[in-house]
Amino acid sequence: MHTVLPVIVAAAYVVVLTFVAVRARAARRFSEFSLARRALPLALVFGSLAATYVGPGFSIGFVGRGFKSGFLFLGIGLAYAVQNILVGLLIAPRLRALKDCHTLGDAIGQKYDRKCQIVAGIISVSVCTFFAAVMAHAGGVVINDIFGLPNWSSVIVVVGVTALYTTFGGLRASVITDAFQFSMFAVLLPITLLFVLIFRFDGGAAVFAGQAATATAGGLDSTPLIEIVGLVAAFLLGETLIPPYANRALASRTTQISRNGFILAGFFSVVWFIVMIALGIAARTIVPEGTDEDRVLLKLVGSIMPASGYALLLVVLVSVVMSSLDSLLNAGAVAFTQDIVKPFAKLPDEKALNVGRCATIVIAAISAAVAPAVPSVIDGLLICYTIWASAILPALIIGLLVKQPRPLAGILSMGVGTFVAMSAIVLMFIFPSIIKAPAIIIPALGAALLAYALGHWLDRIKSGV
């Protein structure tokens, strides 16, 4: 029963999700596929934003880190919440106010020039693909636990189903299915915590506090200060306006909805992080020590829940993965079409839509192929954060905030930031005991900022202004 029921419930969930996606209608124009006609209300912007970021990293990954290092990662996660609120207050309305803007590459192209747009598009597509590989890795872990399939086929299942409805429905289907999934896991995972604490956690608040103190002290002792600083920087900057979030800002009905959606999502993330870390700490008395961090939540749910509850929670975890994955596939496809193809070829709307759909399939296939190489959910996210924060953020944020950004500054910042970040990542894999993922974002971001300043200075000398 414990084996058969999760399979039945998971299959039924896929059927229901497919029905929801079909009801969302297939996109008939590229404007629907990319930005859902810029008509998203606040409820859908908030729900889809929250569903997108509350992915495997902020559920499976945070429970695993809570298990290992207690409340250390809660403090780090709060930097992410602050980032969302600041983006809502300062950046998202400016982005939404731009006309004829489908992507971040469009925004950078308007502020700098077409060369910068193309470079930004290449970076956006690459980062979306890497992020999607991390989501596919996490989805494979969950599907493997449900069906007992090999990891590679588990990845294909979750990526295949997600790519199916994203390819035809575009952003509208992604947002509507995300809101549907958000309404499920935003309720059910906190209920799981209450179930654990009330019915299965022995010792009450005193034991929980003791476990939290022990885990947090251990996490602080085993994590050098430079890594903590790097983690805070990564969570503060690493997901700032990545393409799926930028698409929500651009697709909002008004600038006010764009602003409020990010602010509400930021406050929700605080509650979410507290629940996930608490689940990880509670698992320390139930799950064996030494359990792989990406499987702590699955082991916890499997140990404490009856068959029906276990099945339901596994389905929730599948929805968590898919709600992040579909957004990344759509954002990457839109960036490829708008920022890489369109600058070189005038595409009528129907051809642009077909290019976007084909790009969705290709990005999904590449992410599935890369997924087995992902070391863990959190480590995979940290690598993506390093690339994105260094390659795009200085040019994007400065470009949105100043009146006349210099094209040379933008291109130098993106080029140098990408090169230093990728070089640091390669060195991290060669010397894993010396170079750690959280720390490499600092020199990479610093190099990008210096390159921007140099490009600005050189461009002023060249133009004489």
Q: Does residue 206 form part of some domain?
A: yes
Q: Does residue 268 form part of some domain?
A: yes
Quote the CA–CA distance of 316 and 139 in Å, as a whole number.
11
Query: In the prediction, which pLDDT does 224 show?
Result: 87
Query: In the prediction, which pLDDT does 339 show?
Result: 94
Cα–Cα separations (whole angstroms), residue 252 to 32, 46, 255, 257, 311: 13, 10, 7, 6, 35
Angle in degrees, 0-180, between the axes of helices 307-335 and 349-370, rounded to the nearest 10 = 130
Q: For 116-130, 176-190, 266-280, which range has the lowest pLDDT when averaged over its residues?
A: 176-190
Give rounded-to-5 percent helix, strand, coil for the chain.
85, 0, 15
Average pLDDT over all residues of the chain: 84
pLDDT digits over 6-55, tens only? 667 666 766 666 665 555 555 567 766 777 678 788 888 888 788 777 76
Number of domains in the chain: 1
Are the beta carbons of 251 and 460 closer than 8 angstroms?
A: no
- Average pLDDT over every residue of 73-87: 90
Quote the CA–CA distance of 322 and 161 in Å, as a whole number.
9
Whether 358 shows a pLDDT value over 60: the answer reads yes
- Average pLDDT over every residue of 61-70: 91
Q: Does residue 412 form part of some domain?
A: no
Band (1; pLDDT cuts 50, 70, 90)? very low
Whether 204 shows a pLDDT value over 80: the answer reads no
Q: Does residue 414 form part of some domain?
A: no
pLDDT digits over 218-262, tens only? 999 988 888 888 888 888 888 888 888 888 888 888 999 999 999
pLDDT digits over 386-417, tens only? 999 999 999 999 998 888 899 999 999 999 99
- 341 against 171, higher pLDDT: 341
Closest CA to 322 of 130, 164, 125: 164
Closest CA to 402 of 352, 452, 327: 452
List the structure tokens of 147: 């069906």
Query: In the prediction, which pLDDT does 172 show?
Result: 65
Quote the CA–CA distance of 330 and 166 in Å, as a whole number.
7
Q: Does residue 114 form part of some domain?
A: yes
Are the beta carbons of 386 and 437 closer than 8 angstroms?
A: yes
Local structure of 103: helix, strand or coil: coil
Q: Does residue 456 form part of some domain?
A: no
Boundaries of domain holding 247: 4-332+346-374
Q: Does residue 200 form part of some domain?
A: yes
Query: In the prediction, which pLDDT does 153 show?
Result: 86
Q: Does residue 417 form part of some domain?
A: no
Q: CATH number of the domain that 29 lies in?
A: 1.20.1730.10
Beta-carbon count within 10 A of 251 CB: 25
